[in-house]
Amino acid sequence: MSEMNSNNEKSDKLFEMQREQGPILEVKDLKVDFTTGNNHAVHAVRDASFNVYPGQWVAIVGESGSGKSTSAMAVLGLLPGTGHVVGGSIKLEGEEISHYTRKQYEQILGDKMGLVPQDPMSNLNPVWRIGTQVEEALKANHMDISHEKRSKLAQALAGGGVAVKSEDDETFIGSKELPELLKAAQAALNEAGVTGDGAKNKMDYFTKEWVPGSETRWRVADDLIKAGVSDDKAWQIAKQYVTGSTMTDRIAGLLEEAGLPDAATRARQYPHEFSGGMLQRALIAIGLACRPDLLIADEPTSALDVTVQKKILDHLHTLTDELGTAVLFITHDLGLAAERAQHIVVMYKGQVVESGPSLDVLQHPQHPYTKRLVAAAPSLASQRIISAKEHGENADALMEHHAKGEETLEKSEHIITVSHLTKEFKLPRKKEMFKAVDDVSFSVKRGTTLAIVGESGSGKSTVANMVLKLLKPTSGTVTYEGKDISEFEGKSLLDFRRHVQPVFQNPYGSLDPMYSIYRSIEEPLRIHKIGDKKSREQRVRELLDLVKMPQSVMQRYPNELSGGQRQRIAVARAMALNPDVIVCDEAVSALDVLVQDQVLQLLNDLQAERGLSYLFITHDLAVVRQIADEVVVMQKGKLVEHATTDEVFEHPQKQYTKDLLDAIPGGHLQLGLD
């Protein structure tokens, strides 16, 4: 209870401070244009206004092309290509910066504003060590590497514990002095009469917490005092042994703060030796290296698995809270925005359509666009989509349909059965084989959807490729309609292909750019020699209607369509042969929420109309709930859990499943209450 009170007190104080200091970033009526080849201006941002206060998290939400990233880049003075600010004002700590030159921007970038970019893979130089890249950020801003720099806000907020800290109190621990410091701490503990397990616990705590290049003198003293060492003695030890860090210490300290374990070793590695999550952590370390007052994070975790995303954001949260850094973060994920930010700004077509306290905006959306976004957001609260066709029918018919559906579900045979499926790959430079898929068994019931969920590297796509007979399993079998698919060849293989169709993840890659939409959809008909020219054209028109695309797109090429439109074309192509089974490999993962919702609706309608069975591969548990009847959870090639969707969501059996559910951003929030 007392903790809660002190928390409240702290947030009250923070609120007062924020009101007193005023916004750190004030964007008013911002206008950004891009000029195209023939001097035609494209209005990327129109009259956007928003404020960010010190220590606050503000989210800009919107679909791709809404101008959210452009606004952030305008603030940073990093507009790409022909983009430029044509109106409005951007004030950083009360100073107008929109007219700044490149040189003036260099002065404030890093030091006052930091950036965590979107794509960790392309934002680190592959030929430099991670440590060198952190060092570059420190050197470019002439950072003092032996002393911590605290924001005004952090100083004011930390005021409660230690009175006024002098400059020297913020000196970092050096790795050279650390062993002696620990020895002295041990001695001091003994002297203070702390012995046995108590002393051991305290020492373990010290060893863990006292990170060179990150922990400061006053904290060491503070820890010692809390452990029972007398004030004088504690400060004496702290002053004697905490005498500042070297560059190497500081780099390791920064990386450690960003959540990289064993940072000193990691700093000497190259980007290709890091996973996506680790690279993102390194970028966070770089973004925060110079202790900016404002950190701009552009979709910082969109490329990462949900559990990694949660860990990184949690970490960033504690870190920025401690440093008093304000965070402006850009995301397309409403749940994430609601969970992390106090203030939320919704952008659409370059304009701010709604803004306000995040929970308020999401629970009572007022603008039609926000309403639409909230309605489409796949959160835990959402249920399996009921087909629009079913919606239209009256309640009785709906009930009947359901009853019938359930009956067939019980009785029907399994259209695809996977048993003891294993796939091993040979890794380069390694002797042992890597098991991408390890003894996985499940079956897809006719007319239902089975989702395989897992993070990257779980082997879910490998399973999909084996089911599609694009990969040969090392052992185990896949049967379609009771027949082993490994025996299909020639005519029977063609027949199998006719009945089992894929929709792939990347809408930009799965359509041949040289083929017109007509030719793309017609291709399966040609391959299987179905119909003549005229009847094929008729079929293509039907299919376009089916996926709700205008027939005029027939003569267009994939590069003219958006990702969602291409994915609908891919669905049309898959439907051309009237298949029984469609394997969707991350089919909606690359799409914006609204578009994703639209494609899911389409898939669902098709299932209701034609009794299709889906094998749905995804990393996104929220989507699973909207589309799947059964769920298979995979981790590192193994099947972890297999149950009905409701069962998995309401009573997850395994810890891994619970972690996955827990990591869904905004999962516990009720969105769109009215």
Binding mask 450-489 for other proteins (x = CB under 8 A): ------------------x-x-------------------
Strand partners for 638: 635
Candidates 524, 652, 665, 666; binder of other proteins (CB under 8 A) is 524
Shortest distance (Å) from residue 368 CB to other proteins: 5
Candidates 129, 268, 372, 435; binder of other proteins (CB under 8 A) is 372
Between residue 2 and residue 41, which ones bind other proteins under the rule CB under 8 A? 15, 18-19, 23, 26
3 state DSSP class of 49: strand
Shortest distance (Å) from residue 542 CB to other proteins: 18
Candidates 13, 31, 43, 51; binder of other proteins (CB under 8 A) is 51
564: contact with other proteins by CB under 8 A: yes
Contact at 8 Å (CB) between 634 and 422? no
Contact at 8 Å (CB) between 471 and 423? yes
- 250 vs 340, beta carbon nearer other proteins: 340
509: contact with other proteins by CB under 8 A: yes
Q: Decide the pairing of beta strands 613-618 and 449-453.
A: parallel
- 204 vs 489, beta carbon nearer other proteins: 489
3 state DSSP class of 207: helix
Shortest distance (Å) from residue 51 CB to other proteins: 4
Residue type present at position 369: Y
Question: Per the structure block, which two tokens stand in for 536?
Answer: 């094929």
Question: Per the structure block, which two tokens stand in for 417?
Answer: 């059965």
Shortest distance (Å) from residue 465 CB to other proteins: 8
Rounded distance, CA 217 to CA 403, Å? Answer: 70
Using N-to-C axis directions, what is the helix angle for 368-376 and 593-610, rounded to 10°? 60
DSSP 560-575: GS-HHHHHHHHHHHHH
Q: What are phi and psi of 352, to 5 degrees?
A: -80, 120
Candidates 214, 448, 598, 635; binder of other proteins (CB under 8 A) is 598
Q: What are phi and psi of 614, to 5 degrees?
A: -115, 140
- 184 vs 591, beta carbon nearer other proteins: 591
- 460 vs 573, beta carbon nearer other proteins: 573
Candidates 328, 352, 603, 615; binder of other proteins (CB under 8 A) is 352
- 242 vs 602, beta carbon nearer other proteins: 602
549: contact with other proteins by CB under 8 A: yes
3 state DSSP class of 318: helix
Between residue 296 and residue 315, which ones bind other proteins under the rule CB under 8 A? none
Candidates 35, 307, 351, 408; binder of other proteins (CB under 8 A) is 351
- 64 vs 107, beta carbon nearer other proteins: 64
Direct distance between the N- and C-terminal alpha carbons of the chain, in angstroms, rounded to an integer: 33
68: contact with other proteins by CB under 8 A: no
Q: What is the largest CA-CA distance in the chain?
A: 96
383: contact with other proteins by CB under 8 A: no
Candidates 65, 228, 276, 356; binder of other proteins (CB under 8 A) is 356
Stretch that binds other proteins, among 95-103, 445-453, 476-484, 500-508 (CB under 8 A): 500-508
- 280 vs 613, beta carbon nearer other proteins: 613
Stretch that binds other proteins, among 48-56, 283-291, 416-424, 434-442 (CB under 8 A): 48-56
Residue type present at position 392: G
Shortest distance (Å) from residue 490 CB to other proteins: 10
Candidates 553, 587, 648, 664; binder of other proteins (CB under 8 A) is 553
Long-range contacts at 466-474 (CB < 8 A, ≥ 24 apart): 466/418, 466/421, 466/423, 466/437, 467/416, 467/418, 467/500, 467/583, 467/615, 468/500, 468/502, 468/583, 469/493, 469/496, 471/423, 473/421, 473/422, 473/423, 473/437, 474/422, 474/423, 474/424
562: contact with other proteins by CB under 8 A: yes
Shortest distance (Å) from residue 366 CB to other proteins: 5
Shortest distance (Å) from residue 363 CB to other proteins: 9
Strand partners for 345: 60, 355
Residue type present at position 348: Y
Candidates 213, 253, 447, 502; binder of other proteins (CB under 8 A) is 502
324: contact with other proteins by CB under 8 A: no
206: contact with other proteins by CB under 8 A: no
- 191 vs 512, beta carbon nearer other proteins: 512
Residue type present at position 495: D
Report the candidate in 209, 157, 217 with the shortest Cα–Cα distance to residue 7: 157
Rounded distance, CA 515 to CA 513, Å? Answer: 6
Question: Per the structure block, which two tokens stand in for 88?
Answer: 């409005």
| Planar angle of CA 224, 227, 233, nearest 5 degrees | 40
Question: Per the structure block, which two tokens stand in for 428?
Answer: 């380069």
Contact at 8 Å (CB) between 549 and 575? no
Shortest distance (Å) from residue 393 CB to other proteins: 24
**H helices within 377-487, ranges in order?**
388-392, 395-411, 460-467
Residue type present at position 571: V
- 172 vs 504, beta carbon nearer other proteins: 504
Rounded distance, CA 589 to CA 618, Å? Answer: 7
198: contact with other proteins by CB under 8 A: no
CB atoms within 10 A of CB 673: 11
- 354 vs 620, beta carbon nearer other proteins: 354
Count of chain residues binding other proteins (CB under 8 A): 69
What is the SS3 assignment for 566-599? HHHHHHHHHHCCCCCEEEEECCCCCCCHHHHHHH
- 216 vs 325, beta carbon nearer other proteins: 325
241: contact with other proteins by CB under 8 A: no
Stretch that binds other proteins, among 242-250, 276-284, 343-351, 606-614 (CB under 8 A): 343-351
Candidates 501, 607, 626, 645; binder of other proteins (CB under 8 A) is 501
Please return the burial class of 431, using the count of CB atoms within 10 Å of its CB with bins 0-12, 13-18 and 19+.
exposed
Strand partners for 27: 50, 90
Shortest distance (Å) from residue 502 CB to other proteins: 5
CB atoms within 10 A of CB 178: 20
186: contact with other proteins by CB under 8 A: no
161: contact with other proteins by CB under 8 A: no
Candidates 41, 125, 368, 487; binder of other proteins (CB under 8 A) is 368
Shortest distance (Å) from residue 53 CB to other proteins: 5
- 59 vs 648, beta carbon nearer other proteins: 59
Contact at 8 Å (CB) between 641 and 654? yes
Which residues of this chain interact with other proteins, rule CB under 8 A?
Answer: 15, 18-19, 23, 26, 51, 53, 56, 343, 348-349, 351-357, 359-361, 366-369, 372, 468, 470, 493-494, 497-498, 501-502, 504-506, 508-514, 516, 523-524, 527-528, 549-550, 552-553, 555-557, 559-562, 564-565, 570, 573, 577, 594-595, 597-598
